[in-house]
Amino acid sequence: MNADYIIVGAGSGGSAVAYRLAEAGHSVVVIEYGGSDAGPFINMPGALSYPMNMKRYDWGMSSEPEPGLGGRRLVTPRGKVIGGSSSINGMVYVRGHAKDYDHWEEQGAEGWGFSDVLPYFKRMESWHGGSDAGGGEDWRGHDGPLHVSRGARENPLFNAFIEAGQQAGYPVTRDYNGQQQEGFGAMEATIWNGQRWSAAKAYLKPAIRTGRVRIERGLAARVHIEDGRATGVVMSDGRILTAGREVVLAASSLNTPKILMLSGIGPAQHLREHGIKVIADRPGVGSNLQDHLELYLQFATIDPISLFRYWNLWGKAYVGAKWLLSKTGPGASNQFESCGFIRSAAGIDYPDIQYHFLPIAVRYDGQAVAEGHGFQTHVGPMRSKSRGTVRLRSTDPADNPVIRFNYMSHPDDWTEFRTAIRLTREIIAQPAMAKFVKHEIQPGAAVQSDDELDAFIREHAESAYHPCGTARMGRRDDPDAVVDGQGRVIGVEGLRVADSSVFPRITNGNLNGPSIMTGEKMADHILGKDPLPASNLEPWINPDWATAQR
């Protein structure tokens, strides 16, 4: 079985690469272990809590016991389906802050500064921001494969949250994905015509329709390497798929490093412990693991205005039927329709706390509702200094890797989280929100001291499901870098990585947008094209950042 290119993983990065390689006339085989994305659980935005908890669609990974979180194991959903995690995620669309990418470049990811990546964000987008979003023409894309839209914000709590942020002294931003991330405003989502718009819909299926891309079902065991060059992929059943030009790994920041290590690329000592012949000693493989942790701060409302009214058999039946018949109603939204990005202290030059606002008090996995009508803010620090690892459990490619995030292992994490809780309470106490609030459900008004807050964080912090960084980009002479600025694995020819593994540092916000952008840009590098012309647009930085928190 031969093709010009073999891509491992039909997720956000891999789908974008496949689309662009097919567009250029190349034959592509995409290896995907998961199955179809058909059906309402994936396609109905309001059903987002279901697919990430279904074995059919999720790899079923979890962390090792996390010492900083009282020994809890945190689930780590990754999409096992075409579209990858873009088919099971919360559909929130965040590019990240301009300074995230400038930091990437400072860390040795040449050609990945904000001025370099903005043209790729624009190329991938079809933006439906609406007239209230102003100023988007220069900053946003209008004819790309990925539809990005905003919710209707019909529930009064959405706009009340934005207004409360303004009353607390923070800016309002008309488009956090445009010139100004900092502030409160409408949240954006990969939803179009009331349906999830995953990487499978945006990229993979159109690529397959060209006749140049085909999906090969199965489990990739390792990269086939001959004389220092990747020539194909060995499947778990022993088949070898041959690539005429290159192999591209886009299997997620948890499975990509696993495949690299099974292929003999990684920390030499760890590979030897598993009896794997070392082809390239790259200690950075599986290191530098990062994620966003968040808390759900929950509040009960005085009036029955939240989504709790649908939290019963009849309500869910109504929402499902309305969506099936018309692709409208509560099921047509992920219900993350307003948000905020703020700085936790003076002297921090761009936001380091993110808010998702949800007009119901419920666990992210949909397993438990708090206590009747309420709302919650998902809040957490954006740039934890903690770093973790992904390591092999065995040489069996069917075994999930050993995942250690080392959450909350840096003392600054605790300070930042406490600050996030206290700033949130102050925002919810503003008149625009306070008029709706009956009482604080979680953590509860009695939880005030540092020790009390720390205990709450230890028990209740949850992953936002944004793992990244395990095969980071850097200069070729950097011993901890795994790939160079063109995604080429250092020490092996003909092998690239094109997913969130390559992020030197986690970006501000949800990672699906940056992961797709990575696939878009890597495709140009694979094709040997000149990068898109750099942008000269200047992002907004709060002029008082050095002296004021807001």
Query: Which of the residues are catalytic?
Result: 466
366 among the known binding-site residues? no
Calpha distance 446→433 (Å, rounded): 20
The β-bridge relationship of strands 61-62 and 75-76 is antiparallel
- Residue 111: which residues within 8 A CB-CB, separation 6 or more? 105, 485, 486, 531
Nearest to 382 by CA among 403, 410, 355, 422: 355
From 91, 37, 45, 12, select the one nearest 195 (Cα to Cα): 45
What's phi and psi for 69, nearest 5 deg? -120, 35
Q: Which two tokens stand for residue 279?
A: 């082809």
Dihedral of CA atoms 470, 472, 478, 482 in degrees, nearest 10, equals 70
Neighbours of 316 (CB within 10 A): 15
The alpha carbon of residue 286 and the mean position of all alpha carbons in its chain are separated, in whole angstroms, by 18
CA-wise closest residue to 158 among 137, 132, 123: 132
* Residue 285, token pair as written in the block: 């493989």
| E strand map for 46-123 | 61-62, 75-76
Q: Are 256 and 250 in contact (CB under 8 A)?
A: yes
Phi/psi of residue 238, nearest 5 degrees: 100, -15
Is 264 a known ligand-binding residue? no
**92 in a labelled binding site:** yes
What tokens were used for 345? Answer: 């202290």
89 is in an annotated binding site: yes
Query: Strand 240-249 vs strand 495-497: parallel, antiparallel, or unpaired?
Result: parallel
Q: From CA 11, how far away is CA 204, in angstroms rounded? A: 9
SS3 label, residue 323 = helix
Read out DSSP for 138-173? Answer: HHS-BSSSEEEEE----SHHHHHHHHHHHHTTPPB-
Among candidate residues 216, 234, 217, the one with its CA nearest the CA of residue 225:
234
Q: Which of 541, 506, 513 is nearest to 382 (CA)?
A: 506
C-alpha distances (whole Å) from 146 to each of 91, 166, 196, 240 are: 12, 31, 11, 33
d(CA 473, CA 498): 10
Using DSSP, state whether 60 is helix, strand or coil: coil
Q: Report the 10 Å Cβ neighbour count for 286.
A: 30
What angle is formed at CA 546 by the lines to CA 96 and CA 119, rounded to 5 degrees?
A: 25
E-strand spans in 405-489?
Answer: 437-442, 462-463
- Alpha helix ranges (H) inside 249-346: 255-262, 268-273, 313-326
90 annotated binding-site participant: yes
Binding-site residues from annotation: 81, 89-92
Mark the binding-site residues for FAD, compressed into ranges: 81, 89-92
